[in-house]
Chains A and B, each alone.
Chain A
């Protein structure tokens, strides 16, 4: 039988005021295994801790029970004290006789027996406590950033500046992301490219940053400190080492396809860079559009390329690399509003989404920076902006606010007035939301100085009438029906999660909310962490957000990543699940319910009738296990148990608590 010492804290009068300490100490002496019981005014004080340490040594205690405040408060303190006296810290148990007893009961006659009962349960559990060690995990000193938009770029630069290697995997041929598509940014109206491209170049030139563009993450195995990641680098058909970025290839290429970067509003060549400031400035061949790949002829780019960088037979390359930490910054998509029949999107060239309209302002955009109607090339006189298209729409199950639309609409209305001084803007809105530094002032300027008419209400119908688009709405403040003969309509379509974010979430091991945005580990206190240790999130993949918030979150994620990379070893969870492989029948139900993929099958050999028999059983990776214990319940034979909260320990607590009946 282990030798247990029980120490009861008065906590001044916090405990002693409602619990008869003397009685509790006396009762504790009779618990099985208890060889020493004492009390002290403030156990958490240095004197109190010394008292425990001394008693451990003097009485050769190998179990300690403290009757104190909540273990969530001081378990760490007392474990540390026990460790300093040479005891494994996990041999200590806490009976919460303050928050769960003395503070919630008034009557000493009630609180005292309850405190004794809680102490008895803790002592019964402590007898079954075992020495535990948190696993030490090595850390690969390299970070992976998935997504090369502003969030990914910022995170990568921050990590690189801290002195660690970082790889950025970007799906598109260039980094830059959504921000690269923007003309100007609110509320200061700086040119998006002017502030973004230096950062893109900084990332590309940083010795610690390795850009892996036109690539996707295919598989993530391992765990914090040691993620083994499989990356598919798609065939670019251009040798990036030879390519000088001269641009002759795409100048000469005769084949065209719709430009993703221009939201399909214009064409690009089959060999292309997505936009003029692309980083890296290395074209790719779109094999679906290329004449050589589709029809077997042409090869003009190959003939014209001065450094002979075209490689038609290049293949996708899959390589595996180990990373200590991963930041997911995959951004967002804009919802296609064609499902909202009333707005007629997709049926008329002058009904655009916000992001499409944005491209019209850009000098390298589809109209060369002229804001004109795509139907007839004339500048618009009246433009109607409709807010919350697909946002805050309970009826269609899109309850959330896309957050950026109110502000970018104000921005676009201002830009419009500057480009087309005769133009008049109308904004249909539910509420105008402008929380953010300088945001309210910016929106007020749009309304007051740029003659933007804000109409609170909803649009029921848009239909073409001759050259115009008739917008039929209701002003919900006056109740009046409004009809505007508009030249253009701009829909603030919802920001939505990337279509494949559930798939990436599954690969990386992060879960999503019902809209497929990635979930943070805690909505307030762990906004960039995820439930998978070592995986962080930043930017609009977590929820719609603007550039300042995105950048702030990216830097926050980078700090978390750097904090992790700066450690020699990581301490894992000590209370992990453990399989009794002799008893395990190998059904692997535990594997199915494990949220951390910490359980996997393993083949063992067993003696059977003079020979050996191979069979499959479960195995826990203690580095991945977080100690939830879900596996222990699905296991009918109890062959998987949780250290620190074992079946034996919990049953012992139940027995001890019920003993007084």
Chain B
């Protein structure tokens, strides 16, 4: 049990089912409940019946825009429910020529932030049976009763420092926007790591990256990873050694992050997808921070018309090395 706002869900369902029936869209990308109550997974709805499974709760974390890469091959027109980050992911794909704008209908859903089950369970204990939500409060339901807690404290890490919870691109806004948020601690972890010595930083990353299974779930979840063949799988040249060892783990993670330079929308899906909790966003944010510092403020995904910073230059650009 995790319903948040049935009224909102009904409104969404009404709009999208009309569009499915009228043929405005052939497929809707939304969310449905997963195996556990704290999981919401992608829903691929082609009919009104499919829409019965639609959900809009505090666990709709999965960034749906990425699924367009596959679905637009099979469908002429696809509708997507987009939170702030899904919409920025859409702009990412648009800017990368991966989608055609007129073949996608975006339904905007301002997002109150996704809840982190691990935090909820840590608070309530393992017998947590479900939650109810009301006015920024969460009621934790356990066998031994109900506990009311503040919602903010249980947001996923990626949502706590979200700047744009409202969709930045949409055809139809379905719920009331909530405005830009503050994210004062967005670069806190990066700042702290920067104060360490190189040896300490290396030790930190060696420890974190040693857990990497090279499952590439981070890549699969990422809206900027849209290559047809990722460098890690290429044979000729073989950029990435197959061995499961520190040198190759470093290579993968540095290059993965670097490929997002000026492109990462900071949705945090990579980190959420990581089964061993590697703080991938710290690498991404390091690049965001530096590029903003060096080449002017730029938020990837906000405006698909603005040129990404690594596609352009100014003759008087600063450099991060001691040359001018």
Query: Which of A514, A588, A634, A637 is within 8 Å of B227, CB to CB?
Result: A637
User: CB distance B310 to A584 under 8 Å?
Assistant: no
Q: Which residues of B contact A608 (CB under 8 A)?
A: 73
User: CB distance B231 to A636 under 8 Å?
Assistant: yes
Minimal beta-carbon separation of A147 from chain B (angstroms): 26
User: CB distance B98 to A587 under 8 Å?
Assistant: yes
Q: Which residues of B contact A587 (CB under 8 A)?
A: 96-98, 226
Complex CA–CA separation, A609 to B73 (angstroms): 10
User: CB distance A585 to B227 under 8 Å?
Assistant: yes
User: Which positions 261-307 of chain B face chain A at CB distance < 8 Å?
Assistant: 307
Complex CA–CA separation, A608 to B75 (angstroms): 13
Query: In the complex, which residue of chain A has the Cβ closest to the Cβ of B237?
Result: A648
Query: Which of B98, B239, B311, B315 is within 8 Å of A592, CB to CB?
Result: B311
Interface string of B224-261 (1 = CB under 8 A from A): 00111111001011010000000000000000000100
User: CB distance B311 to A638 under 8 Å?
Assistant: no
Q: Would you call A583 an interface residue if the criterion is a C-beta within 8 Å of the partner chain's C-beta atoms?
A: yes
User: CB distance A637 to B98 under 8 Å?
Assistant: no
Minimal beta-carbon separation of A121 from chain B (angstroms): 15
Tally of chain B residues near chain A (CB < 8 A): 22
Q: Which residues of A contact B229 (CB under 8 A)?
A: 583, 637, 639
User: CB distance B237 to A634 under 8 Å?
Assistant: no
Q: Which residues of B contact A265 (CB under 8 A)?
A: none
Query: In the complex, which residue of chain A has the Cβ closest to the Cβ of B310?
Result: A634
Complex CA–CA separation, A588 to B234 (angstroms): 20
User: CB distance B227 to A636 under 8 Å?
Assistant: yes
Q: Which residues of A contact B312 (CB under 8 A)?
A: 592
Query: Which of A586, A593, A609, A639 is within 8 Å of B311, CB to CB?
Result: A593
Query: In the complex, which residue of chain A has the Cβ closest to the Cβ of B236?
Result: A648
Q: Which residues of B contact A648 (CB under 8 A)?
A: 236-237
Q: Which residues of A contact B310 (CB under 8 A)?
A: 634
Query: In the complex, which residue of chain B has the Cβ closest to the Cβ of A633?
Result: B310
Query: In the complex, which residue of chain B has the Cβ closest to the Cβ of A636?
Result: B259
Complex CA–CA separation, A589 to B98 (angstroms): 12
Query: In the complex, which residue of chain A has the Cβ closest to the Cβ of B238?
Result: A651
Interface string of B61-103 (1 = CB under 8 A from A): 0000000000001100000000000000000000011100000
User: CB distance B237 to A585 under 8 Å?
Assistant: no
Query: In the complex, which residue of chain A has the Cβ closest to the Cβ of B311?
Result: A592
Known: A634-B310, A634-B311. A586 touches B97 (CB 8 A): yes
Complex CA–CA separation, A346 to B127 (angstroms): 86
Query: In the complex, which residue of chain B has the Cβ closest to the Cβ of A649?
Result: B237
User: CB distance A514 to B228 under 8 Å?
Assistant: no
Identify the 8 closest CB pairs spanning chains A and B, nearest first. Answer: A637-B227, A587-B96, A592-B311, A648-B237, A636-B259, A586-B97, A647-B237, A585-B228
A interface list, Cβ under 8 A from B: 514, 582-589, 592-593, 608-609, 613, 616, 634, 636-639, 647-648, 651
- Other A-B contacts than A583-B227, A586-B98, A636-B259, 15 sampled, CB-CB below 8 A, are A583-B229, A584-B228, A585-B227, A587-B96, A589-B308, A608-B73, A609-B74, A634-B310, A636-B231, A637-B227, A637-B229, A637-B234, A638-B239, A639-B227, A639-B228
A-B contact pairs, 28 of them (CB 8 A): A583-B227, A584-B228, A585-B96, A585-B98, A585-B227, A586-B98, A587-B97, A587-B98, A589-B308, A592-B307, A592-B311, A592-B312, A593-B311, A634-B311, A636-B227, A636-B259, A637-B228, A637-B229, A637-B231, A637-B234, A638-B234, A638-B237, A639-B227, A639-B228, A639-B229, A648-B236, A651-B237, A651-B239
